Amino acid sequence: MAEQSLTVSAPATSANLGPGFDCLAVALDLGNAVVVTRRPGPLEVRVTGEGAGELSEDASNLVCRALASGLGDLDGLRVECRNRIPLGRGLGSSAAAACAGLVAANALGGLRWSPDELLARADGLEGHPDNAAACLNGGFVAVAPGPRAVPVPAPAGLAFVLVIPECRTSTDEARSSLPEAVPVADAAATLASAVGLVLALSEGRLEDLPAVLADRLHEPHRAPLVPAIGALRGLVDGAGCLGATISGSGPSVLLWSREEAVEAVAAAARAALAAEGVAARVRPSRASAAGVRARWTGEGDLRLARAVG
């Protein structure tokens, strides 16, 4: 019997987007691939790329835990995790693993989970749904109660520069830096910015972005964990560079850029990091319109709708 393989690709994500704490996110054009092959024998797991030698290569791997939540026994499977998303940098590596495993289980098991159920299951594995919503759906998303992903139109002409420091930040550490309560004025200002951000994105008003990317709930408390954040924020000029937001819990930073200025913004970021003595990767990026995708060996792409059935 010929081996049957399923390849699932899952994008990196940036959550919060400044004022959208725990409820706004975007999928990015960087991703992991998981190849699941049916063959005789016990479960076999291999990790290459980011996290190789660090992530578990057994049933405790998050991809496998997501797979097992739908399939149960994983004997008879070989799972290859080909990772490009850096770990512990606020780029949704855990969400990508969980979503890839869930979509693979959905397809392999013919489970017919709906998009909302996939998101709920990812939330259960991850603990918060914002990265998972963007990973599953692609593009910009807002997370509504349920949880439910609500697409936000992506404006033309918008690009990003990802600044990915060599150091890491754990989500738990970043969460512990947040206060138990915030002033009403800070909450109101941030809510106004979040609404303004969604409107600016939906209506393609890039010129509004510098004014609506400010946050007063979480970024002031997480900034000390983000190398060179002050220098990177200093690049925002309202013309080429439109904003600088902490990606998820950090320490990566998402520089918002006009598309025609993205290489200049990347060069300015490299110079700012060099001046600060901070080691980091700088990567021009775009929003990814595609979320998780799956394809069988020898077949065309099966989008999420096909994986759901």
CATH number for the domain harbouring residue 45: 3.30.230.10
Cβ neighbours of residue 38 closer than 8 Å, sequence gap 6 or more: 3, 4, 5, 76, 77, 108
**pLDDT, position 246:** 98
- Tell me, yes or no, whether 127 and 255 share the same domain: no
Structure tokens at 173: 């550490």
Indicate whether 63 and 210 sit together in one domain.
Answer: no
**Residue 255 sits in a domain of what CATH number?**
3.30.70.890
Considering the domain architecture, whether residues 84 and 198 belong to the same structural domain is answered as no
What is the average per-residue pLDDT within 158-175?
87
Mean pLDDT of 257-283: 98
Q: pTM of whole model > 0.95?
A: no
Strand partners of residue 81: 34, 47
Domain total for the chain? 2
- pLDDT of 214: 94
239-254, pLDDT tens digit by residue?
Answer: 999 999 999 999 999 9
Residue with tokens 């969400």: 95
Question: H or E element: which one contains 259?
Answer: none
Give the domain extent around 91.
4-152+288-308
Percent of the chain's residues with pLDDT above 70: 95
pLDDT in tens, 44-100: 999 999 999 999 999 999 999 999 999 999 999 999 999 999 999 999 999 999 999
**Listed residue (308, 247, 241, 237) closest to 280, CA to CA:** 247
- The alpha-helical segments, DSSP class H, found in 178-261 are 184-203, 209-212, 219-222, 229-233
pLDDT at 127: 82
138 torsion bin: left (phi>0), alpha (psi -120 to 50), beta (else) = left
What gap in Å lies between CA 30 and CA 9, rounded to an integer? 10
